[in-house]
Chains A and B, each alone.
Chain A
Amino acid sequence: MDRILHCKRERCSSSNQVYKQTLTMILKGNWASLIMWLFHALIPCLLTDGVAALPAPQNLSVHSTNMKHLLTWSPVVLPKETVYYSVEYQGEYESLYTSDIWIPSKWCLCTEGPECDVTDDITATVPYSLRVRAILGSQTSAWSILEQPFNPNSTILTPPMIEVSQDGFHLVIELEDLGPQFQFLVAYWRREPDTKEHAKIVRRGGIPVHLETMEPGAPYCVKAQALVNAIGRNSAFSQTKCVEVQGEALPLVLALFAFIGFMLILVVVPLSVWKMGRLLQYSCCPMVVLPDTLKITNSPQKLISCRREEVDPCAMAMLSSGLGSCSLGKGPGCQELASWPTGHRTHEGEAVFLPFVDKGWEK
């Protein structure tokens, strides 16, 4: 709620101003009252005859940045005196329809400095007229009006301040808070060839906003611009800021080596296993195949060369057990020999392995 401010000096109250203006309007048709009012208004002037009139402030101008409008003027300097100022405004509506109505500024009814923040007064996107006057005690200067009405769409929009950070793997941006009239367009991308740029609208500054979950390997870059819908304009883009996450994954080269090693293992290991197997097979359990002629079987008859008939019959007879007298002629035939058990020992102590005697035995 606005309070009616009073200057430290006596008669600087806003209520008087507004009531006077409105009273003027209401009494428009009433000439007698008007004359009375004029008379009362002029009394101070008549009484202060001889005192120099208070000069009006000069060089009014408005500096506007990011929808913050500042009215400034050249101060009225008087020795040993503190001069106060009063600011009033009039929107285009008032200047068209109710041109004698000036509205006192919210914060500068009675201000010391040669400047006034008129942001809260200039609310619509129309030209506003502004006027200032100096006040010293009961004296007021003439009104000094801004040359060119000020339209807030001529404000200077600066690129917003941005803070880009990482929260673990999250890309987070915080924009400066420029008020409810501002929205922001945030552009972000992964700094890699052939990647698309993403855009996001952020409705309010001052709070951290999550953009994307980052993957290691390349930096992520962000830039932002301010948008003001009320005046249909944007600021330029801010400077680009980049961050990168360090990943737990191996660098590319190491990964390549690992892959090659793995492939080698995949090929070499089975090969060596197979080789080793073969080696072992040959060394401990060889698969040796004896030729048929050397095979020991239960039927020696197969091995005996039945053509060896030149064997000494007597030797044969001595060797035989229970075969009777030595008989000349052919040695025991194949069948006879076959009846002898293998390994039969004579008393001479000679093992009888006639079939296994080498060929040298043959006469």
Chain B
Amino acid sequence: MKTQRASLWLLGTTLVLCSVYTHGFRRCLISVDMNQLEESFQEIKRAIQTKDTFQNITILSTVETLQSIKPVDVCCVTKNLLEFYMRRVFKDHQELKPQILRRISSIANSFLYMQKTLKQCQEQRGCQCSEEATNATRIVHDNYDQLGIPSAAIKSLGELNIFIAWIEKNHQATSV
């Protein structure tokens, strides 16, 4: 009788923990055509990256910042980074060439659509910002401020592929 009770209790706890874990782990999916985003970026990559004069500095570092984000922080970090690009990067960058301006506009508007679709999902799931998530965002902003406009804007534009790949990994149904 005692062992039965104990095993039932254990099972119950495991189920509760599992549901909590998976609830935190469940991703908000977006139906943006990521291929088109990547294509848009590829078309302007060379033009943007040649203008980037600070080769050894990074704003969205692949090794430290983005890759170390835990699944539970993904929601907050996505929200913050989208805001970062929309409010700072795209706005600060002054583009004269129409062909590059078109691609940047395409990416910016896709980000806006992403923001809208994620907002609903995030409100439902409760997008809580942990300390780590807030720290990661702050690092990105600090790096940006350090570099200064217009170099920071150009560098951030040049690192769009990193951000796009990260979004794809965390918000697409087809990715693992």
Say whether A and B bind each other: yes
Report which A residues bind B (CB closer than 8 A).
Answer: 1-2, 14-15, 18-19, 22, 25-26, 91-94, 96-98, 101, 103-104, 106, 121, 123-126, 180-181, 229-230, 232
* CB of B128, distance to nearest CB on chain A (Å): 27
A-B contact pairs, 20 of them (CB 8 A): A2-B98, A15-B98, A18-B96, A18-B97, A22-B94, A93-B86, A93-B105, A93-B108, A97-B87, A103-B102, A103-B105, A104-B98, A123-B40, A123-B106, A123-B110, A124-B113, A126-B112, A180-B36, A230-B31, A230-B33
**Contact indicator B90/A93 (Cβ below 8 Å):** yes
* CB of A88, distance to nearest CB on chain B (Å): 10
Bound complex: CA of A18 vs CA of B94, how far in Å? 11
**Contact indicator A121/B110 (Cβ below 8 Å):** no
Chain B's interface: helix, strand, loop or mixed, by majority? helix
Bound complex: CA of A26 vs CA of B93, how far in Å? 11
- Most chain A beta-carbon contacts within 10 A, residue among B87, B94, B97, B106: B106
Bound complex: CA of A216 vs CA of B72, how far in Å? 55
* CB of B29, distance to nearest CB on chain A (Å): 11
Bound complex: CA of A91 vs CA of B99, how far in Å? 15
* CB of B112, distance to nearest CB on chain A (Å): 5
**Contact indicator B33/A181 (Cβ below 8 Å):** yes
**Contact indicator B94/A26 (Cβ below 8 Å):** yes
- Most chain B beta-carbon contacts within 10 A, residue among A14, A92, A125, A181: A125
Rank and list the top 3 A-B pairs by shortest CB-CB distance, nearest first.
A124-B109, A91-B109, A93-B108
Given contacts A91-B105, A93-B86, A124-B112, contact A22 B96 (CB under 8 A): yes
**Per-residue A-contact encoding for B84-96, CB less than 8 Å = 1, 0 else:** 0011001100111
12 more CB-based (< 8 A) A-B contacts, given A2-B99, A98-B91 = A18-B98, A91-B105, A91-B109, A93-B108, A93-B109, A101-B101, A103-B101, A103-B105, A121-B102, A124-B110, A124-B113, A181-B33
> Is B35 part of the contact surface with A, judged by Cβ < 8 Å?
yes
Who on chain A is nearest to B95 by CB? A22
**Contact indicator B112/A14 (Cβ below 8 Å):** no
> Is B111 part of the contact surface with A, judged by Cβ < 8 Å?
yes
**Contact indicator B105/A94 (Cβ below 8 Å):** yes
* CB of B106, distance to nearest CB on chain A (Å): 4
* Residues in B neighbouring A229, C-beta threshold 8 A: 31, 33
**Contact indicator B108/A91 (Cβ below 8 Å):** yes
Who on chain A is nearest to B173 by CB? A229
* Residues in A neighbouring B97, C-beta threshold 8 A: 18
> Is B32 part of the contact surface with A, judged by Cβ < 8 Å?
yes
* Residues in A neighbouring B116, C-beta threshold 8 A: 126
* Residues in A neighbouring B105, C-beta threshold 8 A: 91, 93-94, 103
Partner pick for B112 among A25, A93, A232, CB 8 A cutoff: A93
Bound complex: CA of A190 vs CA of B44, how far in Å? 50
Who on chain A is nearest to B108 by CB? A93
- Most chain A beta-carbon contacts within 10 A, residue among B97, B105, B110, B111: B105
Who on chain B is nearest to A125 by CB? B113
* Residues in B neighbouring A121, C-beta threshold 8 A: 102
Who on chain B is nearest to A19 by CB? B96
Bound complex: CA of A92 vs CA of B106, how far in Å? 11
Who on chain B is nearest to A92 by CB? B112
Bound complex: CA of A9 vs CA of B95, how far in Å? 28
- Most chain B beta-carbon contacts within 10 A, residue among A1, A26, A98, A232: A98
* Residues in B neighbouring A26, C-beta threshold 8 A: 94
